[in-house]
């Protein structure tokens, strides 16, 4: 009798395990998790640690295609996170670019137009049409007119909120943060005509106080540099993103995506 019960229990466990494995393999019974990537600069050469070479970026696009990923607008990801009835395709990926470097217009734009995938730009407007490394307002408006680029906020001049907090009174710090959030939104909306309700935290710095201030200023979602996938349990004003560098060649990028049997950083794709 005891032996029969043990066999029955084992059979049930094997059945349950098989069903779970099948669900994982087919993806039909699992809710998607979203990979959100963040880039900064693009170039033919490796100019600095935040630059991704065009050859590396093309390789990453190829990996996404070969493994069946779908590049979706970040806005659709936000809608999915906020609406339990919204859906996303399996293996969704969103591409974001922070700051507003001119290489977005000079290097990234031709690839976006060729491949027709959506990109969200998080811009700090003090640099636009001002800093030599940044795009102009005309270029930003041209990107928006393609229908493939969304423009959102990255504070007004990209401050380090940890440093600012150390040098200000609590009241002054809150006023400073509100200025950064409000002035950025107003300038971007005036110059581009885009409704600004998404924020990328400068340097990925955030905490409960900053989140509360961003919410008060009308931002519905904000994005960090926490390296993990986003799901419906994620905090809307602290959504994770993967910081992309040139170290993510084919194998390392596939590993980041969670594809099996891929090393973290192969010897031929080590951090440079």
Mean per-residue pLDDT of the chain: 89
Residue 241 CA to residue 252 CA, distance in Å, equals: 16
Confidence of residue 267 (pLDDT cuts 50, 70, 90): very low
Buried b (16+ CB within 10 A) or exposed e, 14-35: eeeeeeeeeeeeeeeeeebbbb
Task: Decide if pLDDT at 11 tops 70.
Answer: no
DSSP E strands in the chain: the ranges are 35-39, 41-43, 51-53, 70-71, 92-99, 119-123, 149-153, 198-200, 221-223, 242-243
Label residue 131 left, alpha or beta by phi (over 0 means left) and psi (-120 to 50 means alpha).
beta
Task: Decide if pLDDT at 21 tops 50.
Answer: no
pLDDT of residue 105: 99
Q: What is the pLDDT of residues 216-266, one digit of tens each?
A: 999 999 999 999 999 999 999 999 999 999 999 999 999 999 998 766 554
Task: Decide if pLDDT at 187 tops 80.
Answer: yes
Q: Please state the pTM of the whole predicted model.
A: 0.86
- Average pLDDT on 54-75 reads 98
């Amino acid at each position: 009798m005891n032996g029969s019960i043990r066999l029955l229990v084992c059979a049930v466990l094997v059945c349950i395990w098989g069903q779970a494995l099948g669900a994982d393999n087919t993806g039909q019974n699992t809710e998607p998790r979203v990979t959100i990537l963040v880039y900064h600069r693009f170039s033919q050469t490796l100019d600095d640690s935040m630059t991704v070479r065009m050859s590396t970026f093309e390789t990453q696009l190829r990996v996404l295609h070969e493994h069946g990923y779908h590049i979706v607008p970040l806005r659709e990801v936000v809608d999915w996170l906020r609406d339990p009835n919204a859906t996303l395709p399996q293996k969704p990926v969103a591409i974001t670019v922070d700051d507003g470097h001119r290489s977005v217009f000079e290097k990234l734009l031709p690839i976006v137009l060729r491949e027709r995938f959506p990109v969200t730009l998080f811009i700090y407007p003090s640099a636009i049409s001002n800093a030599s490394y940044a795009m102009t307002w005309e270029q930003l408006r041209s990107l928006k007119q393609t229908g493939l680029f969304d423009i959102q906020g990255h504070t007004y001049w990209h401050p380090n909120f940890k440093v600012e907090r150390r040098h200000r009174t609590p009241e002054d710090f809150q006023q400073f943060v509100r200025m950064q959030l409000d002035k950025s939104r107003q300038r971007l909306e005036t110059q581009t005509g885009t409704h600004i309700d998404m924020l990328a935290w400068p340097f990925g710095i955030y905490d409960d106080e900053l989140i509360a201030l961003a919410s008060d200023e009308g931002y519905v979602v904000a994005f960090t540099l926490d390296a993990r996938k986003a799901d419906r349990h994620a905090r809307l004003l602290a959504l994770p993103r993967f910081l992309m560098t040139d170290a993510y060649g084919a194998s390392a990028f596939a590993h980041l995506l969670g594809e099996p049997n891929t090393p973290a950083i192969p010897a031929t794709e080590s951090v440079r």
